[in-house]
């Protein structure tokens, strides 16, 4: 059973990787990084399928076992390429190869530089060798650090979006978060499997191996499912955009205003609210802080801070408040009875029924249909 699952996972990974490397649609860099991640995973589990081949080539097998050190870096690069639309590979990214280099160098004295008999002695005492313990520790520490780093990237992206955008399509990183949770689950099972290998509990090792492979199978199926159903999953953000915590406070802005401007924060807020009521820029589904700031002739950074800290709302919620009030007026207007809820949500600046229903219930405590029924 295990061999059949591994065989299926192996070919699915290579199939998806081949597709990603040959497609000219979407983010080319993220496609290549995800393909590299899938190829590394396929190579990592290939020893289950070709044990005789690797037995005949011990050096190649040892390099294959160390290639797991590229798994997390490639996935980390993929997350960056998806989240940040200006992400590019630079020379500094070669530093991610150092753990692999260190692992190979640690094996030179007592494995790569010795003869066939010496290599066999190393394999016979594999779990007891200090090089093995060093490399395995390096792998799990490295992967754990990358997992934390990737979740931090997603958290930062979400903060940037709700503070600067009103388009819920920017918030479609939920599936990637779920995928990282699945990757973390595989990491936990792999760690447990390794620990049990040192305790010589073969039955538990086999069970954990089976569970780990099943999770890997779910992982590749998850990628396929999402790719087929949502070909345009992500709209990246610019990595240079600051989150609110990194921006100056309202008091600092006030001090700057004393020196550079005569318009007070209250005046700017009044100007903003008046513009929102009269010109209804919120009807544009792609409205952002920068585009709104240009319309009212205010610096984008200052507008973002005023909305988030002075008004006390994220930009996403601030705009949705106007959209919901506009939709509520349309729903309660007898002249709009022939319009469906779907038509009204698009007229109000939303482009997703689920996000509209969620936002409407949050602000009005009832669904759009119930609101219409109660207020007409």
pLDDT tens across 97-109, in order? Answer: 999 999 999 999 9
Instruction: Give the residue, 102 or 251, on which the prediction is more confident.
Output: 102
pLDDT tens across 68-81, in order? Answer: 999 999 999 999 98
pLDDT at 100: 96
Is the Cβ–Cβ distance between 234 and 172 less than 8 Å? yes
| Residue 281 confidence (pLDDT) above 60 | yes
Please state which of the ranges 89-93, 228-232, 256-260, 286-290 shows the lowest mean pLDDT: 256-260
Burial class (CB in 10 A: 0-12, 13-18, 19+), 319: buried
pLDDT at 235: 45
pLDDT tens across 96-142, in order? Answer: 999 999 999 999 999 999 999 999 999 989 888 999 999 999 999 99
| Residue 244 confidence (pLDDT) above 60 | no
What band does 143 get if pLDDT is binned at 50, 70 and 90? very high
pLDDT tens across 207-222, in order? Answer: 888 888 888 888 888 7
* Rounded distance between C-alpha atoms, residue 67 and residue 81, angstroms: 22
Please state which of the ranges 161-165, 255-259, 328-332 shows the lowest mean pLDDT: 255-259
Is the Cβ–Cβ distance between 307 and 298 less than 8 Å? no
Phi, psi of 172 (to 5 degrees): -85, 35
| Residue 258 confidence (pLDDT) above 60 | no
Q: How many CB atoms lie within 10 A of CB 258?
A: 9
Q: What's the whole-number mean pLDDT along residues 167-196?
A: 80
Is the Cβ–Cβ distance between 283 and 348 less than 8 Å? yes
pLDDT at 184: 92
Q: H/E/C letters for each residue in 334-350?
A: HHHCCCCHHHHHHHCCC
What band does 353 get if pLDDT is binned at 50, 70 and 90? confident
* Rounded distance between C-alpha atoms, residue 78 and residue 83, angstroms: 9
pLDDT tens across 12-54, in order? Answer: 999 989 988 887 766 788 889 989 999 999 999 999 899 899 8
Mean pLDDT of the chain: 84
pLDDT at 254: 52
pLDDT at 22: 85
DSSP state of 230: -
| Residue 375 confidence (pLDDT) above 90 | no
pLDDT at 261: 46
Can you tell me whether residue 284 is helix, strand or coil? coil
Distances (CA, A) of 197 to 30, 135, 149, 150, 170: 35, 15, 28, 29, 44
Q: What percent of the chain stands above pLDDT 70?
A: 87
Q: Which domains does the chain have, with CATH numbers?
A: 2-229 (1.20.1070), 244-375 (1.10.10.60)
Record the tokens describing residue 352, joined without a space: 């997703």
What band does 260 get if pLDDT is binned at 50, 70 and 90? very low
Is the Cβ–Cβ distance between 243 and 163 less than 8 Å? yes
pLDDT at 262: 45
Q: Please tell me the total number of residues recorded for the chain in this structure.
A: 376
């Amino acid at each position: 059973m295990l061999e059949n699952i591994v065989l299926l996972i192996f070919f699915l990974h290579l199939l998806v990787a081949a597709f990603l490397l040959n497609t000219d649609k979407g983010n080319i860099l993220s496609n290549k990084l995800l393909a590299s991640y899938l190829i590394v995973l396929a190579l990592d589990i290939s020893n289950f399928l070709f044990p005789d081949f690797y037995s005949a080539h011990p050096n190649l097998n040892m390099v294959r076992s160390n290639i797991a050190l590229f798994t997390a870096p490639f996935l980390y690069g993929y997350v960056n390429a998806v989240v940040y639309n200006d992400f590019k590979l630079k020379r500094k990214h070669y530093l991610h190869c150092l753990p692999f280099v260190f692992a190979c160098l640690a094996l030179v004295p007592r494995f790569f530089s010795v003869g066939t008999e010496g290599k066999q002695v190393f394999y016979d005492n594999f779990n007891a060798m200090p090089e093995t313990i060093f490399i395995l520790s390096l792998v799990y520490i490295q992967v754990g650090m990358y997992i934390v780093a990737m979740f931090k990237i997603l958290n930062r992206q979400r903060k940037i979006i709700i503070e600067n955008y009103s388009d819920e399509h920017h918030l479609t990183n939920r599936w990637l978060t779920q995928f990282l949770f699945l990757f973390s689950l595989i990491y936990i099972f792999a760690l447990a499997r390794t620990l049990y290998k040192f305790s010589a509990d073969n039955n538990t090792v086999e069970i954990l191996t089976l569970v780990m492979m099943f999770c890997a199978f779910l992982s590749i199926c998850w990628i396929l499912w999402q790719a087929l159903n949502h070909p345009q999953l992500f709209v990246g953000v610019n990595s240079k955009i600051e989150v609110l915590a990194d921006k100056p406070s309202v008091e600092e802005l006030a001090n700057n205003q004393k020196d550079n401007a005569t318009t007070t924060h209250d005046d700017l807020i009044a100007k903003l609210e008046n513009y929102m009521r009269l010109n209804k820029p919120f009807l544009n589904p792609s409205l952002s802080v920068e585009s709104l700031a240009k319309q009212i002739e205010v610096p984008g950074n200052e507008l973002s801070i005023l909305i988030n800290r002075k008004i006390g709302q994220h930009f996403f919620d601030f705009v949705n408040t106007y959209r919901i009030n506009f939709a509520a007026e349309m729903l309660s207007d007898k002249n709009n009875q022939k319009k469906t809820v779907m038509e009204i949500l698009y007229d109000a600046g939303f482009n997703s029924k689920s996000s509209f229903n969620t936002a409407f219930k949050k602000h009005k405590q009832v669904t759009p249909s119930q609101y219409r029924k109660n207020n007409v």
